[in-house]
Each structure stands twice: as C-alpha cells, then as structure tokens.
Structure 1
Amino acid sequence: MTMPQPVPMRNQPRPNAADHAKLWILHGAAWLALMIYVWTAWVVSGDFRTNTTGRGSEPDWYVALIRGWEVFALVVSLVILWWFVVRPKLRTGRFGFDALFFLGCMALCFQEPWINWTAPQFLYSTTSINFGSWTAHIPGWTSPNSELVPLSLWALSAYFWLVGIPAYAGSRFMRRLRTRNAGLSNLRLVGYTYLAFCVFDVLLESFITRTQLFSYGSTVPALTLWAGTDHQFPIYETISWAGTYTVLASLHFFRDDRGRSLPERGIDKLRITSGRLRTFAQFLAIMGACQAGMLFTYNIPYAYWGMHAVMAEPFVAREWRTAGVCGPKTAYDCPAPNLPIARIGSPTNRIDR
C-alpha cells in the first residue's frame, strides 16, 4: 500500500526565518545610523558648502548642458517619486514593495562618492550644483581633500532614474525570460540579465563620458578604452556596475508568493504589531540589501583599482574637474605612475625632482 505523501506548504518559513529577518533589519539599521552620523557631521563641520574652484573656465556648451541636465534630473526624479512611491501610497494607504525598493535604491546615493576611497578616480565638475562631499567624515576614509569633491546634486537624484529604473526594468526582463522559458535555471537567468546590463552600461556610460556629465579621471590604463583622453572609460567599470544592477534586479525579481524579497522573509514572524513599524522594518531590510550589493560588487573592487589608477592629463589641467582635490595648485599631485598614494594626515605626496 502506497502511503500518501505530505503536500509541502509553499514558502513555509523555516524555524530560523525570524532570526534571518532580524539580521537584515539590523544590517539596514546600521547603514541608516552611519548615514545619519556622517551627514550630520558633514553639515555641522562646515564642509557642507559649494565648491566653485575653476568655475568660469569651462566651455559655454558644457555650462548649458549641465544646467539643462539638472532640470531634466529634477523633473524625472519627481515623476518617479510620484509614480512609484506617492501615488500608490495615496491609493492604498501603505508603501508597497516597489515604493520601498525605489527608496532603497535612492539611499544608495550615500555610497556614490565611495569610488574615491583610496584615490580620486571619479570626477564631477564644479559647474554643477554641489555642496562638496561627506566622505571625509566616514570612519576609515583615506583619500585627502575628499570634502572638496563637488558631488553633483543631479548625480544623487540619478539613483531614482539611473539605478532604480534600470534595476526595475531588469526585473521585468527576468520575468519575461522566465515566462518564455519556464525551465530556465536561476543561474542562467541571472547570467543573461548580467550580460544585458553589460551592454546597457556600455551604451549609457559612453554617452555620459563623451558629454563629460561625469568622468573616470583616474583609471588603470591597460584596462581602459581611450586611455589618456577626457572621455576614457575603464572596462572594469562595466564588469562591476553591471553586477550591481544584477543584484538589485534579482532582489526585485526573486520574491515569494507573498511578494517578500529575500531580506524580508521572516518579518511576519516578528512581534511587530504596528503596521508602520513593520513597513519601516521592511524598508531597513531592503535598503540594507541594496547597500550590501553595491558595496561588494562595486566599491570594494574600486578601492583596489584606485591603488593602481593614473589620472589622465586633460583632467589634471582642468581645475573645474579636479576641484582642488589634487593638482599643481594643491598640496597633492593627482594619481600618477610611481607616485605615492596620498593619505589623510600626510602633508603631500609630491616628489621633488
């Protein structure tokens, strides 16, 4: 006689699911605490001020481009905020997953300037609206003069539309692939998505670097396309950033039948009676996962590349790009072969010849 087999319950939480959720919530809370500490220290220190070094020496076409781009960035950001966050909240009275996901992507702006941890590699311009950068107040930061980095406001808002939207689109792409081929393994699904993001990133970054909306000023020449020009592009950027996109798209796509992403699973087992507090806990878990994704796929690899990077001469000669962080008129020479890597506390890295 054949014994009937038990029917498995879909997405039944494991006994340690609550602990799993607690770890992700605490992880997100740690990130939030770090943000509050760093941004507060930045504002009260007096480093929160506009950097105008070299402003006025840029070509007129560039000034017009930046002003138009800043307006575009503001409009697009407000549209996305309305469509994915505010509008659903007004309709349902709660923040759904998409709202928390886009807010989590927006919080990644905290890591935007971390690419310059070991050396100035990523350049904005003093032409743009900026208030310097908060990186000098991050515990363990090593690169000097980082408070002068003119972190463009449009680059921060871009985490809605240059990060959140592509990640959301990547999730939809994964859904379409799975719909067309239900037997497609998760590994191949993620692999195809990563390759698609590689193509997308090359096209996107080609436009951005050619127009110099931002620039990869310091790169490893042997791993850089058009090395030495003002539109040079490191191929390892695509390898890393496509990885970040893929992590975010996977976070959005791989959800259970209750709509819970991986870091949220088990939250229902926690003794949280307040609906608002539960939503906040979900946000912390999602935001923390986003932060971990960007840290490990992008900023940690770039900390390594920064120790081997060389700044192209066209940027060294343009104060509105180097912004007083490095260069002939500062205490620190920009990254160059056989030049010591500048560190906070060292008076200079310049070698007298």
Structure 2
Amino acid sequence: MTKVGGGLTLGDTAQMRSGQTRPADTRELGGGVSLWALLGVFWILFVGQAWTRWALSDDQFAPAPIFGPDTFSDSSLAVLRIIELVSLVIAAVTIWTFLIRPLWRQRQLTLDGMIVIGSLLAAGIDPMINYFHYTFAWNAHALNLGSWLAFFPLHQGPTRYAEGIAWFVPQYLYLGIGLAAIECKIILALRRRHPGIANIRSFSMAFVVILLLDIVIEQLFVRTQVYAFPRTWDALTVFAGTQYQFPVYESVFVAAYAAGFTYLRMSAHDSPDGLPWVHRGIQRWSPRLRTPVKLLSIVGFCAVWAALSYFIPWSWMSVNADSIISVPTFMMPG
C-alpha cells in the first residue's frame, strides 16, 4: 500500500474519509469481561432470591433438628466449637489480608479483594452438593440456620439439614484465595529456582502440594465428625464402608477449585498491563464503570468455577455411588 504524509497508507486515509479509524490497540477488541460481568449479575440475582426466600420462609430458616438416639459427646462438641472459632479467625485474617488492608492502603479494590467478595457470594452454591442425594452429611450440632436448597429449582435431595455456617463459609475463602496464594508462591519459587520451567510443570507441582494439603485438612473434619461422606465411589474411596470413608476425588475437586484462582492471579502477574484474563476487554468500558464491571466479572467467575470444578462433577458422581454408609443420627436430614 502506497504511503502518504507521515507514514499513513492510502488505506488509512480512505478509512479516515469514511469516518472509520483504526483502534490504537487491537487487544481492546478481545476479551469477555462483559460476559463474565453478566454472569456475575445473574448469580447475584439467583443467590439473592434464594437467600431472601430462605430468610423469609416459615420452616427452612431455622437450626436443623438434632435427632437421636446417637449422641455427640461434650468433648466432641468442644472440638467442633474450636474448629468453628478457628475457621472464623482464619476467615477474618483472610478478609483483612486480601481485601481490607489493600483497599485501605491503595484506595482501590484489588484483584484479590474482588476474589474475596466473589468467593463469599459463591458460597451460596453450597447446597448443590446435596442436589440429587444426601451425599454430604452435616453435623446438626454445628452453628447453623438450616439450608436454602429448597429454593434451588428442580432439586431432588433433602432440604432440612445443618449448613455449618461458621466453618463452611470460611472454607470458600481459605480453600480458594488462601490456597491460591500458596500455589502462586510455589510457582514463583520454582520459576526463580528453575528459570524457563514450563507452566504445565510448575502448576502441576503446585496442584499436587495443594491436593495433599487438602487431604490432611479434610481428615481433621471427617475424624472429628464435623461432616461425613455417606455416598461415595468405592474404587476412589479410602476407609470405604466405615463412618470415616473419604473420597479422594473430594480433594481433587478442591485442588481444581484452588487452581482456578491460582491461574487467575498468575495471569495478572504475567500480563504486561497487570490484568487477569477475565478482565480482558475492560478498556471498552468508561473509566467510572470499570471497577464495578471488574468486580461483577470476578463474581461471575467465582460462581461458574465453583460449579464447574466441584459441584457439577460431585453431584454427578453422587448419583451412581456404590459405597453407601449410615451416618450418626445427628447428621441425618430432617
């Protein structure tokens, strides 16, 4: 193409005459931040209606009943309360570290802060674990206000059981942003020690570490009867047939959940402009709307990733379980 003037081509001048201009950066044309933000709006509306109807219900918004004849000893109850307290402390530290302190210092909402908010809202998906069957047994002695599964469309599982709010909501934080922070440190340490290491290798090594760590954490909860797994796949379960049976794929799903946030954070770290892949295309929005759109996109990602990495595969596997045990009556649904 023939050049004219200061390096412009005849094609450029033709575009100018027709009112068309070439974008300054073609990267602004890519990205799906708007779609992720739309998913975030959808999730807020969905979980908002579920929580609202649950709170206004006559029979669902109340502690789940505790059935006998099985009893939960005073010492076991004390351990449960300690676990709840420690969980709340960890949640508070996580919120302070990743949300409040950066917001206070930088006067802006950071990616980690958005992940914290998105993770707390993603906790609304939790009843889906019992969507088809009572495959995750909750201890009714835990601090709870029942469950909001009754307000999920087409559910088939029981709806009166004890969502242990004091310990399960914190799990969405420390199993998400908390484990992701650990994974990122492992990946960056591997990069420093082995320059040029492939992402697939560093991410896989970090994944295995988190997988093993979650197995240890889960054993604490199972052995103290905070929860149990009454329906599992025998071939993929340790201690199968006992009250402490543990499906190994539980930790695989948790590690996959954490890996999603790891990739999100690392994509921002590795990007020249500091943007994670979910925020690609944010330049198309006006500056005053960019922070809300970014937040909504992270909310959408958190909900979608929780569903894809954990709840959908878990619910599917619960349908064909073959290692089915009876749990103590204080873990039975009403």
Q: State the TM-score, normalizing by the size of structure 1.
A: 0.80
Query: Are positions 1:245 and 2:258 aligned together?
Result: yes
Q: Does 1:79 align with 2:89?
A: no
Q: Deviations over 1:192-236 (max 9, x none)?
A: 222222222222222221222222122122321111212110122
Please state if 1:308 is matched with 2:323: no
Is 1:202 equivalent to 2:233 in the alignment? no
8 Å CA contact retained: 2:146, 2:162: yes
User: More deviation in 224-233 or 78-87?
Assistant: 78-87
Identical aligned residues as a percent = 26
Paired residues of 1:48 and 1:131 also in contact (CA < 8 A): yes
Cα distance, 1:246 vs. partner? 1.1
| 1:89 match | 103
Residue 230 of structure 2 is aligned to residue 217 of structure 1: yes
- 8 Å contact kept, 1:228–1:314: no
Partner of 1:169: 182
Distance 2:195 2:128 in 1: 39
Gaps of 5+ in 1: 1-11, 325-353
Give the aligned length.
305
**2-structure distance, mates of 1:90, 1:250:** 26
Distance in 1, matches of 2:122 and 2:152, equals 15
Is it true that 1:42 corresponds to 2:89 in the alignment? no
* Cα distance in 2, alignment partners of residues 49 and 311 from structure 1: 31
The 5-angstrom pairing of residues 244-323 of structure 1 reads 244-255=257-268, 256-271=271-286, 273-274=287-288, 277-310=289-322, 312-315=324-327, 318-323=328-333
Equivalent of 1:128 in 142, 153, 158: 142
Give the number of the structure whose residues are more often helix, by fraction.
Answer: 2
In structure 2, relative to structure 1, the CA distance for the partners of 1:185 and 1:193 (3 Å cut) is: same
**1:165-198 deviations in Å (ceiling 9; x for gaps):** 1122112222222232332222223222222222
Whether the 8 Å contact between 1:167 and 1:249 is mirrored in structure 2 is yes
Which of 112, 117, 121 aligns to 2:131? It is 117
Deviations 1:75-133 (A, max 9, x none): 22222222221222222222112211222222221122211111111112110110111
The 8 Å contact of residues 137 and 331 in structure 2, kept in 1 or not, is answered as: yes
Tell me how far apart the structure 1 counterparts of residues 26 and 179 of structure 2 sit (CA, whole Å). 31
> What does the per-residue CA deviation read over 1:301-322, in whole Å, with 9 as the maximum and x for residues that have no partner?
112111112574440xx22111
Residues 256-280 of structure 1 show CA distances to partners (whole Å, capped at 9, x for unaligned) of: 2232111112212213x42xx4222
Find the aligned partners of 1:231 and 1:171 in 2 and give their Cα distance. Answer: 32
Which structure ranks higher in relative contact order (CA pairs < 8 Å, sequence separation ≥ 6)? 2
Aligned counterpart in structure 2 of residue 24 of structure 1, from 26, 32, 36: 36
- Select the structure of larger CA radius of gyration: 2
